[in-house]
Structure 1
Amino acid sequence: MSVQNFIPTIWSARLNESLKKNLVYGNVVNTDYEGEIKGQGSTVKINSIGAVTIGNYDKVAGIGNPQELDATQKTLVIDQAKYFNFQVDDVDAAQANVNLLDGGIVEASYGLANVVDQYLAGFYTEVKAENTMGNDATPITPTKDTAYDLLIDLGVMMDENNVPETERFVVVPAWYYGLLLKDARFTKDPNIIRTGYVGDIDGMTVYKSNNVPNTGGAKYKIIAGHKSAISFAGQVDSVEAFRPEKQFSDAIKGLQVFGAKCIKPEALTVLTANKS
């Protein structure tokens, strides 16, 4: 028998965490209606009121009949449901001087958040055509000399659409952020935190994310807009610990339900950019 068979296995007390992307799209949407959801399949009716007409007052003729307000209604549907389900064998748990279940929950929580982040990033498709720069047929290839100016142009589009100056954002991929760093006009924040925040341009909070939608490393959809544009609602519907019938192990399963709706497409702009 080989002596190698007698070499003991040493279990580390330290978990080797997986590499994680910054999750940012959840920071650029609103959760105004989150408290009204009841589970998968539930809906929230969101009413919007049209503009009020302002007329000229005549003290002789008085004022006209009351205007009947125009109201539009949009429906936020909780149509997404994602789960996790993992187990830790009793033998593994006994040999490892670390709480593998806790580590698994941390990884599962991040995994769910990453799915939500990618889901929200996909709402670039709601942007009106007149609020876009470049497209799939003719994407724009930014350089270190033009990357900053292109984001300024997105901000101008929002100005022209009367988008509020506060709570504006733009989400760029890492390579685009690299171009911005080469422009002296961009003042970067040296303390990049897990939210992906990396600075400000023209009143827009700039975020960096590897979840920016793209097609095969090209045609990146860089979204800029206002936090009121997209409403998101989600909740962890259930988390249960159990003992699988056929294994000697502890297991945990969880379910998250969520949905989102673009309420104000006019408050979003998109730049389709190719990596040079």
Structure 2
Amino acid sequence: FRKSAVAEAITNNDYFGEIAQMGDSVKIIKEPEITVKAYARGTTITPQDLDDEDFNLTIDKANYFAFKVDDIEEAHSHVNFQALASDRAAYRLADQFDQDVLGYMCGFKQSALHGVADTANTTVNGSKAISTAGSNELLAEMQVDANDFGGSADNGIGIQPR
């Protein structure tokens, strides 16, 4: 059994631009904030103007996998060893993506697998969507902290290695 990846389901991967190499940047459109108002019969409904904020994200991280299946493994295996390894590699990439994204959302610079995973992120990688965002690019209301998970006060919780 494997745990499910979650970061892809909760992040916006709609962007404008082409990623060909490290250092490239893409433009990401920020989701607009919508205000829900109480409706009273007979009142005039006033539509809300939407903010169309965007920011540039510089690509500064990349992961890869590489493996080989030798003749002995191929000859003595009753399963498709290459397909099995490829499936596992895809899972590990998704797992690393989860750690990087969720660690970032908690305010950490590195994933849990890094030697100093609890280092706070203080560098903006690209441009901020909103000028009032903190030095880690996140607004206070966007930051995930221990209280979001029933934890105690702190500005973030560490993501433990799996």
TM-score normalised to structure 1 length:
0.32
Map of 1:28 onto structure 2: 10
Q: Report how far residue 27 of structure 1 moved.
A: 1.1
Q: Report how far residue 268 of structure 1 moved.
A: 4.2
Q: Report how far residue 92 of structure 1 moved.
A: 1.7
3-state SS, counterpart of residue 36 of structure 1: coil
Root-mean-square deviation (CA, aligned residues, Å) is: 3.4
Map of 1:195 onto structure 2: none
Q: Select the residue among 79, 88, 96 that pairs with 2:77.
A: 96
Q: Report how far residue 21 of structure 1 moved.
A: 2.0
Aligned length: 103
Higher relative contact order, chain-length normalized (CA < 8 Å, sep 6+): 1
Contact 1:74–1:263 (Cα < 8 Å) also in 2: no
Q: Report how far residue 20 of structure 1 moved.
A: 2.0
Q: Which runs of 5+ in 2 are unaligned?
A: 31-50, 113-128, 130-135, 153-162
User: What letter is aligned with 2:18?
Assistant: I
Map of 1:113 onto structure 2: 94
3-state SS, counterpart of residue 86 of structure 1: coil
Larger radius of gyration: 1
Output the CA distance in 2 between the equivalents of 1:29 and 1:113: 13
1:87 equivalent to 2:58? Answer no
Map of 2:126 onto structure 1: none
1:271 equivalent to 2:149? Answer no
Taking every aligned residue pair, what percent have the same amino acid on both sides?
Answer: 30
Larger strand share, 1 or 2: 1
Question: Residue by residue, what CA displacement relative to the aligned partner does 1:164-194 show, whole Å, maximum 9, x if unpaired?
Answer: xxxxxxxxxxxxxxxxxxxxxxxxxxxxxxx
Contact 1:43–1:77 (Cα < 8 Å) also in 2: yes
CA gap of 1:262–1:109, structure 2 versus 1, over 3 A, is: farther
Output the CA distance in 2 between the equivalents of 1:71 and 1:103: 44
CA gap of 1:110–1:46, structure 2 versus 1, over 3 A, is: closer
Map of 1:191 onto structure 2: none
Output the CA distance in 2 between the equivalents of 1:86 and 1:97: 19
User: What letter is aligned with 1:20?
Assistant: R
Map of 1:256 onto structure 2: none
Output the CA distance in 1 between the equivalents of 2:12 and 2:86: 26
Question: Residue by residue, what CA displacement relative to the aligned partner does 1:138-175 show, whole Å, maximum 9, x if unpaired?
Answer: xxxxxxxxxxxxxxxxxxxxxxxxxxxxxxxxxxxxxx
Q: Report how far residue 93 of structure 1 moved.
A: 0.5
1:150-161 equivalence runs, <5 A:
none
Output the CA distance in 2 between the equivalents of 1:265 and 1:121: 15
User: What letter is aligned with 1:88?
Assistant: V
User: What letter is aligned with 1:271?
Assistant: A
TM-score normalised to structure 2 length:
0.51
Q: Report how far residue 271 of structure 1 moved.
A: 2.9
Output the CA distance in 1 between the equivalents of 2:18 and 2:139: 20
CA gap of 1:97–1:21, structure 2 versus 1, over 3 A, is: same
